[in-house]
Amino acid sequence: MSPFIDSQKQRVLVVDDQPINLKILGQALSGDYQVLVASNAEQAIQIAMTQQPDLILLDIIMQGMDGYQTCRTLKQDPRTVNIPIIFSTSMDSEEDEVKGLEAGAADYITKPYNLALVKARVRNQMQLKKKTDLLEKLVSLDGLTEIPNRRYFEQQYEVEWRRAQRAGSNLSICMIDIDFFKQFNDNYGHGAGDICLQRVAHILLDNAKRSGDLVARYGGEEFVVLLPDTELEEAKVVTERLRASVEALAISHHFSACAKVVTISAGFATCRPGFGQDKGLLLEEADRYLYEAKQQGRNRVRGDVYSLGVG
C-alpha cells in the first residue's frame, strides 16, 4: 500500500520496478489522486484485483513478467478488465506503441517523464472512467427499486463463481418471491404494488449485511441474493433473517392466503464450484427449493447443499 493514500480520491496504481520512478510519479499524482504502488507484475495484479484502482500506470520493461503480459492478464480477468491502463516506457517507436495498444492499453507515456503531460493524460483517463462508471451504474440498476438488476447479478455471479473455483470456497444463492403478489396488485393497485416492491427490495438490502453480499431484482416480484464464501448453515440464517425482515415490515395484505401482511418465500442452495461445472445448476437448485417453500405453505425458507458441487 502506498504512503500517498487518501480515501476520498480516485485511485491510480503506479507499477514500476525502479523506486525512483515510483517516487516521481507518486509525488506528482498524490495531490489529485490516491496513489498505490507496485514494484513488480505479481504485486500489481494482486493490488488491482483487491483494491480496484480507477487507473493503472504500467511500466513495460520489468524484471520477470513484463508490462505487455501484465496488461493481457489484467484484461482477461473480469475483476480488472475495465480498469484503463496507461503504459509507461522509454521505448517510443510506433511499433512499440501499437503493440501496447493491441495488448489493451488505453494510452502511452514515455520516459523521461514530462509531468505536465503525464498529469493531463491521467486526468483525461480518469474523467472518462468516471463517465463510464456512471453509465455502467445506470444500466446495472433496476429502475423501480434502485437496487442491482438481473444483468448486474449475472455479471457478479460469473465473477464470484470463478473466485470460488480458484479459492475452493463455498458459494450460496437465495431465490425469493413475494407471496401472492398478483393478488396484492389486483386489489391494492399497481401504484401500491410498486411501493411494496421498493420497500421489500430495500429491507432485503439492509439485511444482507456483508460487503460482498449482493441483492438484486431478478424479475417481477422475484429477487436473488448472492452470498460469496458462505456455508450452508450461514446461508440458512441469512435467508431466514430476510424472510423475517419482510414480515416485520407489516405491509397489509388481506388478500394473501398465508398471512395478513406481505411475506416472502425463499429457496437457497450452497455449493463448492468445481471447474467445468455449469453455474446455472446452482440457480436451478435454489429455484427448486423456492418452489418447495411455496408448495409447503409459503412464508418460509427451504434449502440445502447442492451435492454435485461440493468438493
Please confirm, yes or no, whether 221 is among the known catalytic residues.
Answer: yes
State the first-to-last Cα distance of the chain, in angstroms, to the nearest integer: 35
Can you say whether residue 225 is alpha, beta or left, with left for phi > 0 and alpha for psi between -120 and 50 degrees? Answer: beta
- DSSP at 214: E
Scan for cell 495531490, then name that residue: 31
Name the active-site residue from 136, 154, 221, 292.
221
| Helix spans in the chain (H) | 19-29, 41-51, 67-75, 94-103, 115-140, 150-167, 181-188, 190-207, 232-249, 280-295
Q: Which three cell numbers stand for residue 306?
A: 447442492
Distance CA 215, CA 200 (A): 11
Q: How far apart are CA 51 and CA 60, in angstroms?
A: 21
Grouping H, G, I as helix, E, B as strand and the rest as coil, residue 269 is strand
- Buried (b) or exposed (e) across 181-219, using 16+ Cβ within 10 A? beebbeebeeeebeebbeebbebbbebbeeeebbbbbbe
Q: Which residues are catalytic?
A: 221
